[in-house]
Amino acid sequence: MKQIETFEEAYAAVEGFTHYRNSRSKFGAADTEPRGFFMTVMRTALCTASPIEPLFEGENPWELYFSVKGWRPVSDCLTRKVKVLVEQLKEARYLATVAIIKYYGWDN
C-alpha cells in the first residue's frame, strides 16, 4: 500500500471510505449514528492515540438496521475498511495527517 504523502491523498482515502459507507445506505450506513461513530473512531485513533479495538465491541457498533438482511457483513466490511484507513493515516506523512484532522474537525 502506497504511503499517503499529501492532503489530497489523505482526502481521497477518507472520501473513498465515505463513498463506500454511503453506498450502503439501505443498511443505514449513511445515517447520523454511523457518521458519528466514524468521527469517534478517527478522533480516538488520530487525536488521542488510544486503541480503537474497544470501540468495535458489541453486536452492532455502526448501529446499522437490524431489520435489513445482510447488515452484519456490511458492518464487518465497514470495520475492516475503517481500520485500514486509520492505519493509512497513522502511517501518512505528518503534515498530511495534521491537515486532514483539521479539515474534518477531528481535533475538536
Residue 19 included in any domain:
yes
Residue 97 included in any domain:
yes
Those residues of the chain that have pLDDT short of 70 are: none
Domain count, the chain: 1
Q: What is the pLDDT of residues 30-57, one digit of tens each?
A: 999 999 999 999 999 999 989 999 999 9
Q: Which domain holds residue 71?
A: 7-50+59-104
Residue 66 included in any domain:
yes
Residue 65 included in any domain:
yes
Residue 11 included in any domain:
yes
Residue 1 included in any domain:
no
What does the alpha-carbon distance between residue 42 and residue 104 come to, in Å, rounded to a whole number?
Answer: 10
Residue 2 included in any domain:
no
Q: What pLDDT is recorded for position 108?
A: 83
Q: What pLDDT is recorded for position 2?
A: 82
